Amino acid sequence: MFQRMSLAAGVLLLSASAGASTLQQAPATQTRREPQFENENVRVWKSIILPNQPLALHRHEFGRTIVTLRGGSLDVVDGSGKTMKTVVWETGRAYWLDRDPPGEMHGDLNRGTSPIEVIVVEMRR
Q: How many helices (H) and strands (E) does the chain have?
A: 1, 9
Distance CA 118, CA 81 (A): 22
Distance CA 101, CA 42 (A): 20
Which amino acid, 118? V
pLDDT digits (tens, 9 = 90+) for 67-90: 999 999 999 999 888 999 999 999
Q: What is the pLDDT along the chain (125 residues), one digit of tens a residue?
A: 544 444 444 433 444 444 444 344 556 689 999 999 999 999 999 999 999 998 899 999 999 999 999 999 999 999 888 999 999 999 999 999 999 999 999 999 999 999 999 999 999 98
Distance CA 19, CA 3 (A): 24
Contact present, 107 and 77 (Cβ < 8 Å): yes
Which amino acid, 103? G
